[in-house]
Structure 1
Amino acid sequence: MPRTARPRGRTTLAALACCLALGCASGGTPQGYEPAPPASAPTGPGHGVVTWASSADRVGAAADGRGYRLVVRTSVGGTGLRVRLSNAFGDQPVTFENVHAGLQRDGAALVPGSNRRLTFGGARSVTVPAGGIVYSDPLPGRVPAASKLVVSFYVPRAGGVLTGHWMAMQTSYTTDGDHAAEESGANWARRTGSWFYLDVVTVRPRPAAGAVAALGDSITDGWHSTTGLDRRWPDYLARRLRASPETTVEGVANEGIAGNKVLADGPGQSARNRLSRDVLSLPGLRTVLLFQGVNDIKAEPGATADELIAGYRTLAARAHAARKCVVAATIAPYKGWQEWDPAGEAVRQEVNTFIRTSGEFDAVTDFDRVLRSPDDPERIRPGFDGGDHLHPNDQGMRAMADAVDLESLDCGSR
């Protein structure tokens, strides 16, 4: 659906710091912790639209007295920034103190004047029970699109299982003790390639703006893209959406987990088991872009085409019941990967035929067509191959994003 083009332009770091530090806008309603995300996300003015997200999983053992400084990139800009902290996989309560949001200057150092305190129902600390989540109060000020946002917090008391996202493809930082309010990076010497506890950031963008969530596996998670440069295919998609006047979808949530499957738990809960928490709970969500299945096929024993198709139908039915649009992507070629065999290839072809022709989805994105080699359609194109014959490189990631019909993402608003 055509719409008026958004203003474009580059904002300086100093201007961004001014907006966050001085408060360009304010408003919103505080919200406390929730025992579990709802099946369909709230859409009131206090919740806004997701601008960044990552899928929660078990990432090791929790630790007391640890500080976290997590670097993420926003997709859509807006006011009233909120963060969601998750203890979804924890078996004990977790206490968060001194939670701040600022802008990255370099490494763990922040833009001077940008680091702002977040509260929870007006309080400076919050304890989240096992299995729970918590949204912060809205933060006055505007956060531009494509900002390198840094969320810092201190965990004085934790225990049991640590909730987070293992493969961030982004460098963040940890420390001992409480240094969350500091804008210097001097006390943040330990680097990490994971995100911890933080799983959603929202803003209130312009009216009518919505978001798309990419539900996927390691390809969506960005494996073999360049670390720290935001070159996963959902990142390239966010850049296209910012530049396009053809859609009101602006927020992009990357809900990929390396090794994830549609049908069975393994690395992360299966797509069927995490759909509500990781996708349907996202504020402002309009569209689910489903791109999974290769891990189901190449498993031992691998899923049959009928089993995988039934899984897709379940995911689509649940998303449609939540009044979300569903765009399905065909499974990309992977011949040359050690688990490839002709039987699995036959399943992939049958499933892709279903995706293209069944009419079960609101739209289809043909990643297979985009990525396959013209010389051997069972293989990824050499120029797009990240080196293991399964995961695309930066160029392949960009080609995938370029293949998405942006107007198809808006079907939920029609």
Structure 2
Amino acid sequence: MNRPKLRSRAVHTMTAVAVAIGTVLAAGPTSAADRTAESSASAASAARGTTPVVTWAASTDRLTTAAAFPDRTYRLVVRTSAGGTGLRIRLSNAFGDQPVTFGRAFAGLRSSGASLVPGTNRPLSFGGSPSVTVPPGGSVYSDQLPGTLRPQSDLAVSLYVRSAGGVATGHKMALQTSYIAPAGDHASDDSATPYTQRITSWFYLDAVTVGARRGTGAVATLGDSITDGAISTRDTNRRWPDFLARRLDADPGSRIKGVANEGISGNKVLKDGSGESALKRLDRDVLSQRGVRTMVLLEGVNDIKGVPAPTAAEVIAGYRQLITRSHAAGVCVVGATVMPYEGWRDWTPGGEAVRQEVNAFIRDSGAFDAVVDFDRAVKDPAAPSRILPAYNSGDHLHPNDAGMRTMSDTVDLKSLRCSRRQ
């Protein structure tokens, strides 16, 4: 079996990518400096016949169970989708109330546990500097890292947090084991020895991009716990977007190769709760991601089973806002039907009626660019308001690994090639 390589490239290539300057992105409108830096990065990619594409992403939120600690190193393990050159990472302090200073950041290939493949761990820079301070509400892209990253690689991003305090930003339910070295800067270490603590959240890292072959694009999956992968087997990448990424990688006819999983457990379309509402986080989590051409929207069950619950008309109005804003940004929207959940503690006949009305809109309104019928794929034909036992994780709401695979298999890959960009 060929081992994935993060290869060093020639000196002239390193010079070419030096113009791609990492930039701190404050929350709110993009500044002229930010636009100039991003334009330079895009120009450098175009000169090499590549285009920036997100290869991994996770939605950020405030990590209420973990404070922001200084003088520790995080080794965060993520699974790539699209392959390419010129890796960049995005670090987020979107929910922080104090600045965070990253002393150093490295990226390499994970061997096993917290150990890295020798020779692959390489330093990242930010505007030419090894360190960067991200203000509250801000985010930062690294400079491009020369070399090639293959698809379906276990990438380890090591972040030494020099100073931090208050609220930490990250993704709570990673379903992936990552690691902490609790004291000091160990970002450059290949060894697992200093990484004595295990965690199941991703801290600060919210996106990884590569320069993929020109014409390559990405899909973002905006969703709740089902998209986040709840109940799927930890450390095996069996969320439905992971299965979708493998299908896209294996399909020689598809130019959609990147997959950004923007699911948050408990998330709603209309109201904040577990994460900001889909309406609030759309720009940050989806529309800001590089190369996204299409979004698959699987949200609504948490609204429907909420107390008090919105009407079907209110959920549909939320969908229409998401569609309109995505279309304005040149992103197509695939509507996914809300899946059955009878047997879950919050199920009611009234909620089921709302689900059916919402699904009728998704299927028949023509508001979406395409539809994926997850409801039809996983329901029990003998009891349509219930998930099929073969796909039931046991809680009557979340699919098991087999259900996640079936969801992925239900997606028509051709529907992801839709383009609204000029």
Q: TM-score, normalised by structure 2?
A: 0.92
1:127-173 deviation digits (Å, cap 9, x = unpaired): 01110000000001000000000000111111111000000000000
Q: Contact 2:331–2:420 (CA<8 Å) still a contact in 1?
A: no
Distance 1:22 1:238 in 2: 30
Provide the secondary structure at the position in 2 that maps to 1:245.
Answer: coil
Which moves more between the two structures, 54-63 or 196-205? 54-63
Distance 1:25 1:201 in 2: 20
Structure 2 matches for 1:169-188, cutoff 5 A? 169-176=175-182, 177-188=184-195
Q: Shift of the alpha carbon at 1:375?
A: 1.1
User: In the alignment, is residue 344 of structure 1 matched against residue 351 of structure 2?
Assistant: yes
Structure 2 matches for 1:158-173, cutoff 5 A? 158-173=164-179
Which residue does the alignment assign to 2:63?
A: 59
Which residue does the alignment assign to 1:88?
A: 94
Which residue does the alignment assign to 2:125?
A: 119
User: In the alignment, is residue 278 of structure 1 matched against residue 285 of structure 2?
Assistant: yes
Q: 1:184 to 1:37 in 2, by over 3 A?
A: farther
Which residue does the alignment assign to 1:98?
A: 104
Which residue does the alignment assign to 2:392?
A: 385
Identity across aligned pairs (percent)? Answer: 59
Q: 1:208 to 1:381 in 2, by over 3 A?
A: same
Q: Shift of the alpha carbon at 1:37?
A: 6.8
The amino acid of 1:366's aligned partner reads D
1:334-384 deviation digits (Å, cap 9, x = unpaired): 000000010000000000000000000100000000010011010000000
Which residue does the alignment assign to 1:145?
A: 151
User: In the alignment, is residue 214 of structure 1 matched against residue 221 of structure 2?
Assistant: yes
| Residue among 394, 398, 417 paired with 1:410 | 417
Which residue does the alignment assign to 1:231?
A: 238
Distance 1:338 1:328 in 2: 26
Distance 2:257 2:326 in 1: 19
Provide the secondary structure at the position in 1 that maps to 2:399.
Answer: coil
Distance 2:22 2:206 in 1: 16
User: In the alignment, is residue 328 of structure 1 matched against residue 335 of structure 2?
Assistant: yes
Distance 2:336 2:95 in 1: 29
Q: 1:171 to 1:363 in 2, by over 3 A?
A: same
User: Which runs of structure 1 show a deviation greater than 6 angstroms over 4 or more consecutive aligned residues?
Assistant: 21-24
The amino acid of 1:299's aligned partner reads G
Q: Contact 1:118–1:136 (CA<8 Å) still a contact in 2?
A: yes
Which residue does the alignment assign to 1:34?
A: 25
Structure 2: segments with no counterpart, 5+ residues: 46-50
| Residue among 365, 371, 374 paired with 1:358 | 365
User: In the alignment, is residue 245 of structure 1 matched against residue 249 of structure 2?
Assistant: no
Distance 1:24 1:333 in 2: 56
1:232-273 deviation digits (Å, cap 9, x = unpaired): 000000011011133211100000000000000001000000
Provide the secondary structure at the position in 2 that maps to 1:269.
Answer: coil
Provide the aligned C-alpha RMSD in A: 1.7
1:55-90 deviation digits (Å, cap 9, x = unpaired): 000003211112100000000000000000000001
Q: Contact 1:20–1:116 (CA<8 Å) still a contact in 2?
A: no
| Residue among 396, 401, 404 paired with 1:394 | 401
Q: Contact 2:327–2:420 (CA<8 Å) still a contact in 1?
A: no
Structure 2 matches for 1:14-33, cutoff 5 A? 16-17=5-6, 19=7, 26=14, 27-28=16-17, 29-33=20-24
Which residue does the alignment assign to 1:197?
A: 204
For CA contacts below 8 A with separation 6 or more, give which structure has more relative contact order: 1
The amino acid of 2:170's aligned partner reads G
Which residue does the alignment assign to 1:12?
A: 3
Provide the secondary structure at the position in 1 that maps to 2:418.
Answer: helix
